[in-house]
C-alpha cells in the first residue's frame, strides 16, 4: 500500500473498532447477537459516538440506528453509508463493524475538513444483518427496501417471541414499517472486510464489488423412527441422523459438481442441524438440516435447488428414512454493484495511489437490499488469511483507513455529480 496521509484518522477508527469489540459475551468473544442485551449495549455506545460526531440520531421503524448530517441542498437526496454491528456467535471484530465505524469516520472527517455536502449524509447501523435466532438475516435493510414481509415478522425465535416483538424491543415499530421504506437514497456505499483470501493473496489494497451472490436457504426435514439405541438391531433401524449424514455428503458432492460447471461462483453448506430427541441412547427420530447455498448467477441456483429436490429424497430412502419436507426459508437474488458508484470508488482509489480489483462477494450484505431501491456499491478491504465469522478475523488499521478514504473520495464525487448514479 503506497498511500500515506490518508484523509481519515486511522488511529481513531481503530480505537473505535477495538472499543466496540470489548462489548462482547466475555465467555465467547466476539459475540454481540442481534436483539440481545449486549447488542443494545453496543447500540447505546454507537449512538453516543454518532452524537459526539454531531450526527442527529434516530431509530427507524425497521430498527436501524441512523445518524444524519444535513446537506446544503435539501431535496438532492441522501447518501447513505454503513453496515451492521451485530455478530455471528463467536465471530470477529470487523465483520460489519468496520463498515459502520468507517462510515462514522468518514462523517467526522468531512466535518473536520470543512466539506459541506449538497446531499444529506446518513450513517446507518442496519439491524440484524447476520441470520439471527429468528432465522432471518438483514432485518433492517429489508425494512428499508420494503421487503420485510408480514411472514418474516411472524417468525418465531427463542422463548416463542416473534420478530415483530423483538423489533419493538430494539426501538423499531412493525406497525409502521412503511415509514422505514426509503425512496430518497441517491447512493449507498458499504465498506466491508473481504472475508476471503483474494486481496491478501494478490496483494491488492481494495476490492470493488461488482456482484453479490444470491443466497437461498432451505430447511430439509428428515423423518426416521425414534427407538431404543440398545435393543433395536442394526438392520431394523430407521435412523434419521444416519440419513441426514448421507444427505450432507450427497449435498457436498452436488455442490462440488455445480461449482465445477464454470457458471460463476457457487457454494453450499449445511452448518445447522436439529436432532430429535438428541439423546445418546435414542435413535434419532427426526432431523432438520439448514442448507445455505450461494450463487453468483440465478440460473445456477435454480439448477442446484431442482437437483437437490430430485436427488435427496432417494438418498434419505436409501438410508432408511424419509425426506418429508424441503422448505424455502429465504431466497435472495444476486445483486449488482452500480456501475457509476463502482467507477467512483475506482477513481477515488486511483487518486489515493491504492491498488484495486473488481470482484464478486460470496458473503451476503445489507448492500443487496439497498441495491433493490437505490444505486449501491461496496468496497472490500483485505482480511488476514481470509478468515471471517471466527474470533481470528483480523484486518490492519491502515487497510481499513485506506478503504474509508476511498469511500470518502467517492462520496465527494457523487455529491458533485461527478459520478452519474445511473438511476435519475
Ligand atoms: C453474512 O455474513 C453472510 O452470511 O454472508
Ligand atoms: Mn457476517
Ligand atoms: Mn457482514
* Digit-coded pLDDT (tens) for 59-89: 999 999 999 999 999 899 999 999 999 999 9
pLDDT at 254: 98
Determine whether the shortest distance from the Cβ of 412 to ligand 1 is under 6 A. no
In this prediction, residues 201-229 reach a mean pLDDT of 97
Is the link from the previous residue into 277 a cis peptide, with omega within 30 of 0?
yes
Residue with cell 496521509: 5
Reply yes or no on whether the pLDDT at 18 is more than 90.
yes
Grade residue 265 by pLDDT with cuts at 50, 70 and 90. very high
CB 421 within 8 A of CB 187: yes
Q: Counting ligands in written order, which one lies closest to the CA of residue 30?
A: 2
pLDDT of residue 271: 96
Query: Of 82-91, 219-228, 253-262, where does mean pLDDT reach its minimum?
Result: 253-262
Query: Ligand 1 in contact with 130 (CB < 6 A)?
Result: yes
Give the neighbor-by-neighbor strand order of the sheet with 322-332: 266-276, 286-295, 214-223, 322-332
DSSP state of 67: E
Share of the chain above pLDDT 90, in %: 94
How many degrees, rounded to 5, is the angle at CA 208 between CA 206 and CA 212?
A: 130
Asked if the model's pLDDT at residue 423 lies above 70, the reply is: no
By the 8 A CB rule, do 74 and 37 touch? no
Give CA–CA dist 395/401, Å, rounded.
Answer: 10
Mutate to test the pocket of ligand 1, among 136, 389, 393 (most ligand atoms within 8 A of CB): 389
Alpha helix stretches (DSSP H) within 178-229: 198-202
Measured distance CA(255)–CA(277) in Å, rounded? 29
Cα–Cα distance measured from residue 386 to residue 203, given in angstroms and rounded to the nearest whole number: 12
**Strands 356-361 and 266-276, sheet pairing:** unpaired
> Which has the higher per-residue pLDDT, 3 or 340?
340
What b/e sequence results for 210-237 when a residue is b if at least 16 CB atoms lie within 10 Å of its CB, and e otherwise?
bbbbbbbbbbbbbbbbbbeeeebeeeeb
Which ligand has the minimum distance to the alpha carbon of residue 83? 3
The residue whose CA is least distant from atom 1 of ligand 1 is 364
Task: Measure the CA–CA gap between 334 and 324, rounded to whole angstroms.
Answer: 29
Q: CB-based contacts of 320: which residues, under 8 Å, 6+ apart?
A: 224, 237, 238, 239, 242, 243
pLDDT of residue 30: 98
Kindly report, residue by residue over 109-153, the tens digit of the pLDDT. 999 999 999 999 999 999 999 999 898 999 999 999 999 999 999
Q: What share of the chain is helix, strand, coil (3-state, %, to 5)?
A: 40, 25, 40
**What integer pLDDT is reported at residue 261 of this predicted model?**
82
Question: Any idea which of 9-13, 158-162, 367-371, 380-384 has the lowest mean pLDDT?
Answer: 158-162
Element (H, E) at 221: strand 214-223
For residue 226, the SS3 value is: coil
The mean predicted confidence, pLDDT, of the chain is 96
363 lines ligand 1 (CB under 6 A): yes
Torsion of CA 54, 97, 206, 256, to 10 degrees: -150
Atom of ligand 1 nearest to the CA of 364: 5
- The backbone region for 137, taken as left when phi is positive above 0, alpha when psi lies in -120 to 50, beta otherwise, is beta
**Nearest residue to 345 via CA among 155, 207, 232:** 207
Q: Are 122 and 163 in contact (CB under 8 A)?
A: no
Residue whose C-alpha cell is 467517492: 410
- Cell numbers 417471541 label which residue? 161
* Atom of ligand 1 lying closest to residue 215 CA: 5
Grid cell, residue 140, equals 433492517
Report the alpha-carbon distance of residue 276 to residue 113 in Å, rounded.
60
pLDDT for the residue 3 = 65
Structure-model confidence comparison of residues 106 and 263, the more confident one? 106
* Whether pLDDT at 2 is above 70: no
Q: What is the pLDDT of residue 420?
A: 59
Neighbours of ion ligand 2 (CB under 5 A): 95
- Our mutation pick for probing the ligand 1 site, out of 85, 91, 96, 131, counting the most ligand atoms within 8 A of Cβ, is 131
Q: What pLDDT, on a 0 to 100 scale, did the predictor assign at position 418? A: 81
- C-alpha 153/C-alpha 174 separation (Å) is 8
CB 294 within 8 A of CB 335: no
Element (H, E) at 402: helix 397-416
Q: What is the mean pLDDT of residues 245-266?
A: 93
Q: What is the mean pLDDT of residues 41-46?
A: 98
Cα–chain center distance at 186: 21
Cell output for 376: 449501491
**pLDDT higher than 60, residue 263:** yes
Q: Is 292's C-beta closer than 6 angstroms to any atom of ligand 1?
A: no
Q: How far apart are CA 277 and CA 99, in angstroms?
A: 41
Amino acid at each position: 500500500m503506497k498511500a500515506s496521509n490518508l484523509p481519515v484518522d486511522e488511529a481513531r477508527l481503530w480505537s473505535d473498532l477495538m472499543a466496540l469489540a470489548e462489548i462482547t459475551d466475555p465467555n465467547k468473544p466476539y459475540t454481540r447477537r442481534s436483539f440481545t442485551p449486549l447488542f443494545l449495549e453496543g447500540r447505546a455506545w454507537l449512538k453516543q459516538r454518532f452524537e459526539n460526531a454531531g450526527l442527529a440520531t434516530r431509530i427507524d421503524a425497521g430498527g436501524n440506528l441512523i445518524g444524519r448530517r444535513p446537506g446544503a441542498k435539501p431535496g438532492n437526496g441522501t447518501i447513505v453509508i454503513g453496515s451492521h454491528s451485530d455478530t455471528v456467535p463467536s465471530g470477529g471484530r470487523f465483520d460489519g463493524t468496520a463498515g459502520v465505524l468507517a462510515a462514522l469516520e468518514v462523517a467526522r472527517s468531512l466535518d473536520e475538513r470543512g466539506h459541506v455536502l449538497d446531499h444529506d449524509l446518513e450513517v446507518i447501523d442496519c439491524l440484524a444483518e447476520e441470520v439471527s435466532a429468528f432465522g432471518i438475516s438483514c432485518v433492517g435493510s429489508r425494512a428499508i427496501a420494503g421487503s420485510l414481509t408480514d411472514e418474516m415478522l411472524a417468525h418465531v425465535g427463542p422463548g416463542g417471541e416473534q420478530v415483530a416483538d423483538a423489533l419493538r424491543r430494539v426501538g423499531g415499530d412493525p406497525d409502521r414499517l412503511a415509514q422505514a421504506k426509503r425512496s430518497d437514497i441517491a447512493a449507498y456505499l458499504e465498506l466491508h472486510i473481504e472475508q476471503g483470501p483474494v486481496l491478501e493473496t494478490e496483494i491488492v489494497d481494495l476490492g470493488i464489488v461488482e456482484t453479490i451472490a444470491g443466497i437461498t436457504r432451505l430447511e430439509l426435514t428428515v423423518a426416521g423412527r425414534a427407538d431404543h439405541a440398545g435393543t433395536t438391531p442394526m438392520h431394523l433401524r430407521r435412523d434419521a441422523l444416519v440419513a441426514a449424514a448421507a444427505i450432507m455428503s450427497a449435498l457436498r458432492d452436488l455442490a462440488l459438481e455445480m461449482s465445477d460447471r464454470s457458471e460463476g461462483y457457487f457454494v453450499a453448506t449445511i452448518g445447522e442441524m436439529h436432532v430429535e430427541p438428541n439423546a445418546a441412547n435414542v435413535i434419532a427420530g427426526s432431523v432438520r438440516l439448514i442448507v445455505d447455498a450461494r450463487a453468483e448467477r440465478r440460473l445456477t441456483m435454480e439448477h442446484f435447488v431442482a437437483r437437490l429436490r430430485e436427488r435427496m429424497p432417494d438418498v434419505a430412502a436409501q438410508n432408511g428414512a424419509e425426506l418429508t419436507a424441503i422448505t424455502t426459508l429465504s431466497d435472495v437474488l444476486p445483486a449488482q454493484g452500480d456501475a457509476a458508484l463502482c467507477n467512483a470508488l475506482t477513481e477515488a482509489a486511483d487518486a489515493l495511489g491504492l491498488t484495486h480489483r473488481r470482484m464478486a462477494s460470496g458473503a451476503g450484505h445489507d448492500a443487496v437490499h439497498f441495491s433493490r431501491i437505490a444505486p449501491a456499491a461496496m468496497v472490500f478491504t483485505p482480511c488476514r488469511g481470509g478468515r471471517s465469522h471466527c474470533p481470528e478475523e483480523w484486518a490492519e488499521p491502515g487497510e481499513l483507513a485506506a478503504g474509508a478514504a476511498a469511500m470518502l473520495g467517492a462520496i465527494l464525487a457523487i455529491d458533485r455529480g461527478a459520478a452519474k448514479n445511473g438511476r435519475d
